[in-house]
Amino acid sequence: MKKQIPNILTMFRIVLVPYFLWLTYFSQPTNYSIWITVVFIVASITDYLDGMLARKFNVISNFGKIMDPLADKLLVISALFALYSPMKFISLAVILIIIVREVLITILRDYYARKKIYIAANNWGKIKTVAQMVGIIAVLLYSSYLQYNGLQPNETAKLIIRIYFWITAAITVYSGMNYIFVGKEDK
């Protein structure tokens, strides 16, 4: 049973995505930012735990190599849309850059998986994921703080957030190019 825990955590993270979206766009309780922050942090913790436990139990599976990045993509893209609308902290262009990269890499990974070549996340992919998760959590915490205290976002803070996510988009593009080069070496 313990060897299935990493995959169960991955699937749990996927299940949290619709709940996150529902809270963001349909629920709107008084402190909805706090609730979506909690859901996102829980999902992010499962991302860390499933990888750590997979290595600890030595159960890195092809299922995990495919589904874990997919779960990350669903979670991050959902959160980025929340930061764009209704929160209005980041540019739509940043989201589109990240989505295009994620779609292209997913197609590439699927192509290689069909050839029984499984490309695990590389260091740049991991840096990209950490940068995205840390940025999203920081903005969600900031938004929760503002909402809890009835405050409006500071223009300087909004500028810093936008710059951070443009840097994250650049890292995302670079990590995608890195996957393409790794994939070419595996042919």
The domain defined by 2-185 folds into: Four Helix Bundle (Hemerythrin (Met), subunit A) (1.20.120)
Q: In this structure, are residues 175 and 104 in contact, taking their beta carbons and an 8 Å threshold? A: no
Q: Which residue has the tokens 């991302």?
A: 47
Instruction: For the chain, give every domain's residue range.
Output: 2-185
What's the pLDDT tens digit per position in 129-187? 889 999 999 999 999 999 889 999 999 999 999 999 999 999 999 988 866 775 554 44
* CA–CA separation, 9 and 15 (whole Å): 10
The answer to whether the pTM exceeds 0.75 is: yes
Q: Please report which confidence band the pLDDT of residue 124 belongs to, taking 50, 70 and 90 as the band edges.
A: confident
